[in-house]
Structure 1
Amino acid sequence: MNDDIRFIVGLLGQIHILHRIYVHRALSATDIYFGQFPILEYVEKHEKCTQRELADTLQVSPPSIATSVKRMQKTGLLEKENDENDLRRTRISITEKGRAQMNQCRRAFDMIDLQMFEGFSEEETALFKEYLSRVIANLTTDEFRGKTMFSLIQTMTNEKHAQLRGKEGSI
């Protein structure tokens, strides 16, 4: 393997870690966890959506969404109400607290993104986008094609838990 490629892969890892540190710091000032932000954004844009719609859009399991929504209700970010046409179904809405904290995070995330690309011209940004898109295309097998970032994170988490269960069973 070319030393430049190893170096670039190391740089990508460092970018990922630095970005996660800044995002974690932004989230720590709120009641929002990393995986909850996309839920808040979706619910804000699709007021009175169902958990099934959330699960389908984010490409995660309905139980995972149910757990997240329950936690977000407890912290006052979301609220649920019965569907007036179908009492078996509930509708999800964002609270004022949820909207305020989501907007706080969005502003912080935008500042992080601007910091990352400070000094880049529009042409350089476009080229960088093209290069990263090609890297992603090279890594995207049929298994991952069309997946959202949220569902990729769930896949990674599920595999990590399966690996840990496998190690526990071999002791």
Structure 2
Amino acid sequence: MVAHLLENQYNEQLAVHGLTVAQSKVLFLLVENGPLSQVELQQYLYIKGSTMTGIIDSLLMKDLVKKADSEVDKRSKIITINEKGRKLDQNLWDNLNGKEYELIEGFSEEEVALFMKWLRRMKNNLLKQKEGAK
């Protein structure tokens, strides 16, 4: 229920900027890692190639990223965030950081640290299950 409510709030905030959660994740990954291939982005997000193509096409139409042929492999496309995308990403994080502070209000530092540890463990368990299913 918490995940659902949180996702709804994030979606409302992103909608103001005309973005989806997936599109915002791509912007974040490009800011954090620099230019990435479409395949690398797809692997980071655990999504299919066709879904990744749609996300990239949307970001290109909004003029938030650039797409170019890889110098190493011409079949591979390299995605780079541009200045407009970088500014939007920063704006999103400024807004979302405020939301995170609201979420942990009333929790001690120890409780937050323990919660984060549990979330990381849950993520690892989910990734193990996913790998085991392949």
Q: Taking structure 2 as the reference length, what is the TM-score of the superposition?
A: 0.80
What is the CA deviation profile of residues 34-90 of structure 1, one whole-angstrom value per residue up to 9, with x for unaligned ones? 111111111223333210111122222222111110111011111112234443332
Aligned length in residues: 131
Bigger radius of gyration? 1
Q: Which runs of structure 2 are paired with 1:94-133 in the superposition (5 Å)?
A: 94-130=81-117
Cα root mean square deviation, aligned: 2.6
Question: Which residue does 2:54 correspond to in 1?
Answer: 67
Structure 2, unpaired ranges of 5+: none
Structure 1, unpaired ranges of 5+: 1-12, 147-171
The equivalent position to 2:20 in structure 1, one of 16, 33, 47, is 33
**Using CA pairs below 8 Å that are at least 6 residues apart, which structure has the higher relative contact order?**
1
Aligned pair in 2 of structure 1 residues 78, 127: CA closer, same or farther (>3 Å)? Answer: same
Secondary structure in 2 matching 1:80: strand
Q: Which runs of structure 2 are paired with 1:3-42 in the superposition (5 Å)?
A: 13=1, 15-42=2-29
Are 2:134 and 1:144 equivalent residues in the alignment? no
Question: Which residue does 2:79 correspond to in 1?
Answer: 92
Identity %: 24
Question: Which residue does 1:166 correspond to in 2?
Answer: none
Shift >6 Å, 4+ stretches: none
Secondary structure in 2 matching 1:76: coil
